[in-house]
Amino acid sequence: MYFLFVLFWSSSLKNRFKKSILIVFFFALIFGLILEFVQIYLSYRSFEFYDLISNFTGCLVGYLIVKITLEKH
């Protein structure tokens, strides 16, 4: 999910901001971190460290694909 989030959102912002890819990457990481911490307070959800790693991996892969694609054009 975070892979697609970074991929599509940074593609839509690439003409507006020079560092839009990096901004989207960090926003997605912070968003995932906030969601994980919110789950601590929900009785039907739980905080998982591996979810954070998965979110980070998805963000990183999306970031790298967008960066490589934009460098080719």
Instruction: Please give the pLDDT value at position 16.
Output: 61
Radius of gyration of the chain (CA): 14
Q: What is the pLDDT of residues 17-68, one digit of tens each?
A: 567 778 788 888 898 888 888 888 888 888 788 988 988 888 888 888 877 8
Instruction: Please give the pLDDT value at position 46.
Output: 83
Answer with the residue of higher pLDDT: 15 or 43. Answer: 43
Domain count, the chain: 1
Instruction: Please give the pLDDT value at position 12.
Output: 63
What pTM was computed for the model? 0.70
| Structure tokens, 44 | 């039907």
Q: Are 23 and 14 in contact (CB under 8 A)?
A: no
For residue 56, give the 3-state DSSP assignment.
helix
